[in-house]
Amino acid sequence: MSLAILERPEPPEAIIEMGGERTWIEITDAFLDKDHAIGLTSGACDDVEHIPDDGRLVIAPDETFSIALHSAIEAKYDKDSMRAIAAVEGPGILLVGVFTPFTTAEEVARTEAASIAELISIKPDKLFSKIYAYDGTGERQFHILYRQEA
């Protein structure tokens, strides 16, 4: 399948043509928790002191990450800019980076698909036709987390 970037309006990340159809893509990240996010991102910055995220106890990592994932997706549904682009371009595609040492994007897609569909079903706006999870620190394989029914 071919993909061509047509525009980069910010937001969204890009307006694209994929498989002959025009759509748009937004990208977000879901971190295990705030401490893990700081540990990962501060290590990548030259102008910020690195704050390591090791040697701490994480209670219920699956539940903690599930809450973070739902929050990251819900935050996109709560943004006026996402509603505005969907009103013009129709539903887009959301890519969610999975940043947790306790699971993979493939497993997240398998275990969270039903709860994400339930979350989206109560939203008044249909912003995304598809939501994919990918391993934020690994290979860029995309796993379907949600697909809007026709």
* Domain ranges, ordered by start, for the chain: 3-147
Give the range among 78-82, 112-116, 135-139 with minimum mean pLDDT. Answer: 135-139
- The pTM for the full model equals 0.87
pLDDT of residue 55: 66
Give per-residue pLDDT as tens, 29-75. 998 877 665 655 655 666 766 555 666 666 888 899 999 999 999 99
Distance in angstroms (rounded) separating the CA atoms of residues 92 and 148: 10
C-alpha angle 76/78/82, rounded to 5°?
55
Q: What is the mean pLDDT of residues 109-137?
A: 95
